[in-house]
């Protein structure tokens, strides 16, 4: 079972660019456009820019792979 319900994931957005987020494992939401990762604590997304972290090139590839790729629009 996912850490976040699929319906909730559809409406969650990055607080910085307001775009969609990828679920990259049980504990991370990821914005591949800004390369910013947000943690999930006990099933609750922490969507605060000050609490997020920047991601380097190798971790970007890992998070995108864990999320199943970047959806095409």
What is the DSSP pairing of strand 44-45 with strand 28-31? unpaired
Residue at 71 is within a domain = no
Report the number of distinct structural domains present in the chain.
1
Check residue 2 and give its pLDDT.
58
Output the domain CATH number for residue 12.
2.20.25.10
Helices (H), 1-73: 6-11, 57-66
- 31 with 21: CB under 8 angstroms? yes
Residue at 21 is within a domain = yes
**What is the Cα–Cα distance from 37 to 53, expressed in whole angstroms?**
5
Q: What are phi and psi of 64, to 5 degrees?
A: -65, -40
Helix (H, G, I), strand (E, B) or coil at 29: strand
pLDDT in tens, 12-55: 999 999 999 999 999 999 999 999 999 999 989 999 999 999 99
């Amino acid at each position: 079972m996912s850490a976040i319900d699929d319906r909730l994931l559809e409406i969650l957005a990055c607080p910085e660019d307001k775009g969609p987020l990828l679920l990259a494992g049980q504990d991370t939401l990821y914005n591949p456009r800004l390369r910013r990762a947000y943690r999930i604590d006990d099933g609750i997304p922490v969507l605060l820019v000050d609490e997020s972290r920047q991601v380097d090139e190798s971790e970007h590839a890992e998070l995108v792979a864990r999320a199943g790729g970047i959806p095409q629009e």
